[in-house]
Amino acid sequence: MRLFLLRHGQTHGNVSGQLDTAFPGLGLTDLGQRQAAAAAHALGDEGIGAIAISTLLRTAQTAAPIAADLGLTPVEHDGLREITAGDFEMRGDEDAVLGYLGTIAHWLEGDLERPMPGGETGEHFLSRYDEAIASTCAAGVDSALVVSHGAAIRTWVTHRANGEHAPIHEGLHNTGCITLDGNLDDGWTVANWGREPIGGAWLDDPTAPDPTGDDPAQSSGS
Contact (CB, 8 A) for 126 and 58: no
Verify whether residue 131 is a known catalytic residue. Answer: no
Verify whether residue 82 is a known catalytic residue. Answer: yes
Residue from 8, 106, 149, 173 carrying the catalytic annotation: 8
User: How is residue 89 annotated by DSSP?
Assistant: T
CA Rg value for the chain: 16
Compute CA distances 122 → 103, 113, 209, whole Å. 9, 6, 24
Give residue 85's Cα distance to chain centre: 14
Interior/surface letters 184-208, b for 16+ CB within 10 angstroms, e for the rest: eeeebebbebbebbbbeeebbbeeb
Residue from 77, 82, 106, 149 carrying the catalytic annotation: 82
Q: Which residues are known catalytic residues?
A: 8, 82
